[in-house]
Homo-oligomer: A and B are copies of this chain.
Amino acid sequence: MTETRPRGRIDKRHAILDAAFTVFAREGYAQAGVDVIAAEAGVAKATVYNHFRDKENLLRESITASADEAFATNMAAVERLTDSGGDLRALLEEVGHQLATCYCDAKSWALNRLLAAELAQFPELLDIVDGRAATRVAEALADRLARLMLAGRLRSADPRTAADQFAALLTGPLAKRARLGTKPVPEAELREVVANAVDTFLRAFGAG
């Protein structure tokens, strides 16, 4: 009763963004109907237009929100890559596992597919996702690896290359096993992929 309206506004905006992402991911931008999104959000079609000028803008905003969300979870994983002097392999596996879990989240796959789908039509979307999530996460990972190199826990090498390859060793095999996200990857497989990635990474970048 204290905050009926200001809250309601925000809730509606959120509901629409959520619905939009869900529907866009499920049906693709062109196929997705604004009425479907409105229905899924529980509002009238015109309300969607009141909040987000047009369909294209709605896509942009829903992707932006989704990228921000992905950034937060990915960063949480990367930030755990802090040298506490313990077992490096165990640390990498823990971080790798957490990253892999992020990648395998349904919304993450959806974002990637949606991005790939609409990239040709809306190239700015890649800038949004890169600028808000992908590049920043990659840089943060490179930062952490650089510190491990400096600390002598990894051999000296280009940290960006190392970061890209670490990520690639996770996402490549995962994409295959998850059938681009259309199939859940069992925990055991996920751990295997992570273990293989870390093993190769350490053979290539391990100190000494």
Contact = CB atoms under 8 A, between A and B. Distances in A.
Interface of A: 25-31, 112-113, 115-121, 123, 126, 134, 138, 161, 164-165, 167-169, 171-173, 176, 179-182, 196-197, 199-200, 203-205
A96 to B, nearest CB: 13
A172 B180 contact: no
A168 B169 CA distance: 6
A134 B168 CA distance: 17
Copies of this subunit:
4
B180 A169 contact: no
Contacts of A179: 126
B30 A120 contact: no
Given A31-B30, A118-B28, A204-B204, A126 B180 contact: yes
Given A165-B196, A204-B203, A27 B171 contact: no
Q: Which 4 A-B pairs have the closest CB atoms?
A: A168-B172, A117-B117, A30-B30, A116-B116
B165 A119 contact: no
8 contacts: A31-B121, A116-B117, A117-B117, A120-B182, A138-B176, A165-B172, A169-B169, A204-B204
A62 to B, nearest CB: 16
A171 B113 CA distance: 16
A67 to B, nearest CB: 15
Contact of A161 (B126, B161, B196, B205): B196
Contacts of A168: 168-169, 171-173
